[in-house]
Structure 1
Amino acid sequence: MAVRFMHVVEDVASADDLAAAMAAITAELGFQYFALTHHVDIVAASSSAIRLHNYPAQWADYYDGNALGVTDPVHRASHVTSMGFCWSRMPDMIPLTACDRKVLALGRDQGIGDGFTIPAHVPGEARGSCSFASEAGRPVPETILPVAQLAGNFAFEAARRLWSIRGHMPVVQQRPLTDRQRDCVLWVAHGKGDWEIAIILGISEETVARHIKDACERYGVSKRTLLVIRALFDGTLTFTDLVRH
């Protein structure tokens, strides 16, 4: 089944084809709804972000009108794992706020029950995911979840291909930092100033300042906070780097 799904999504030639394929795959897996999306403010991003779903129109309008693509607890939970997860597990994955619980309750009011989300994270691009969801009151088909994981991976990659053809995918950073620039940015992320970084790395304070300035220019940013964010975003730095120092 997984191999068949892979070939189905590989062969699609348009977003409409992919939507039809996803509807068929969703039904065969035993779900009722699907969503392929980047985790961004969809309205603000316009056509630059992947977005394909068959959720109820009223729920989609509310979701977009409140820019929930950025704060959605399902999306946030997907940022802490590479494996697919059932939404019922979210309280064990991230702290849920009162607003999060309200959003989930509103979704159930619109007929959307438990779901299964497969993270899709590509360095240099907005984070994304593929979700399958059951109607409220219907259980998640747990025996099929390993296949759903693979189907979600294949589907999101097909969406990336289609959006790239349409010219809407973001450009991946093409000028990587040098090793020394990365070292400096890493210590900036730890809140160190130029003098402290110079002592740690055994170089002059002026050299540190130049490395950081050059790194900012490569990313097209002027603030050190944005420099660290961009380096984390494209995989130059990882949260593991920050924790182990």
Structure 2
Amino acid sequence: MVLATAQQFATAAETAVDIAELGAHVDAITREMGFRYFALAHHVDIARTPQPAIRIHNYPAEWEAFFDAEGLGRSDPVHRASHLRNLGFPWAMLRDLIELSRRDEEIIARSRRAGIADGYTVPAHIPGESEGSCSFATAHGQSYRVEWLPLAQFVGTAAFEAARRLSGVRRIDLDRPRLSDRQRDCIYWAARGKSEWETAQILGIGHGTAVQHMKEARKRYGVFNKTQLAIHALYDGALTFTDALWR
């Protein structure tokens, strides 16, 4: 039954022609899973972000007004907790994931006064984009179906991808620089703090060759130093944050 529902939603999301149609599909399956509300969004201040961003939701107007007035897109505790997870999580886990400040407690209390009781959030991590998530929430006196949380995980992921397609956030950049394997290797070691000479020793290549690989990689990205190069490689997926933060 859950599998059939997942397949039906996947088809609906993939064929939705606009954000409104996608929102209607998400709203319907949200209620089927035992939730009342959903919010699918990038974690940005939606009114001030200079780049395309996603936000679709059916939360109470009172909560939306407070959320925007306080600029909570970037600081909401549920959003911050989702940055530490790749798998969806119930809101009961919040205190296990982040340390809640007094302000966080006030935000949670305010959401409850607006009618939002409990929930489940599915993180969305796409290199080169703002962090995002798809949350499902209950109203007071309502409980969601725990056995359907794997479906919520799938729905959140599929809905976010469909929203990226429909909003123009997802795009294939055919002009994006293409790095060679050796260039990528050199950037990897540069991100770990190695000089060109040290990188050459590690990779078993000449010092001049390592310098040339880095020079060509910078040229392809149109940047002038190793820091800028590493940042571009991170957001292109050529390098991971674990690579860059290794100690």
Q: Which moved more, 1:232-241 or 1:113-122?
A: 232-241
User: Secondary structure at 1:44's aligned position in 2?
Assistant: coil
What 5-or-longer segments of structure 1 have no aligned partner?
A: none
Aligned match for 1:49, one of 49, 53, 75 = 53
**Structure 2 CA distance, aligned partners of 1:170 and 1:97?**
38
Would the aligned equivalents of 2:191 and 2:243 in 1 still touch at CA under 8 Å?
no
Whole-angstrom CA distance in 2 between matches of 1:102 and 1:205: 57
User: For 1:123 and 1:114, how far apart are their aligned partners in 2?
Assistant: 29
The residue number in structure 1 matching 2:6 is 2
Q: Distance in 1 between matches of 2:225 and 2:9?
A: 45
Give the deviation of 1:31 after TM superposition.
Answer: 0.8
Match in the other structure for 1:187:
189
Summarize the Cα distance change of 1:15–1:26 in structure 2 as closer, same or farther, 3 Å threshold.
same
Report the residue type matching 1:24 in the other structure. A
Of the three residues 168, 174, 188, the one matched with 2:176 is: 174
* CA pair 181-153 structure 1, distance change in 2 beyond 3 A: same
TM-superposed CA distance for 1:65, in Å, is: 3.7
Contact 2:35 2:143 survives alignment (8 Å) = no
Q: Map 1:52-201 onto structure 2 (within 5 A).
A: 52-136=56-140, 138-164=142-168, 168-169=169-170, 172=173, 174-201=176-203
* TM-score, scaled to structure 1: 0.81
**Structure 2 residues without counterparts, runs of 5 or longer:** none
1:181-209 residue CA offsets vs partner (Å, 9 max, x unmatched): 22222223223334433443344555444
What is residue 19 of structure 2 aligned with on the other side? 15
Q: 1:215 corresponds to which residue?
A: 217
Cα 1:73–1:52 change in 2 (3 A) is same
Q: Give the superposition deviation at 1:132.
A: 0.6
Q: Read off the aligned partner of 1:177 and give its amino acid letter.
A: L
Q: CA deviation at 1:171?
A: 5.2
Identity score, percent: 49
Normalised by the length of structure 2, the TM-score is 0.80
RMSD across aligned positions (CA) = 3.0
State the Cα distance separating 1:237 from its structure 2 match: 1.6
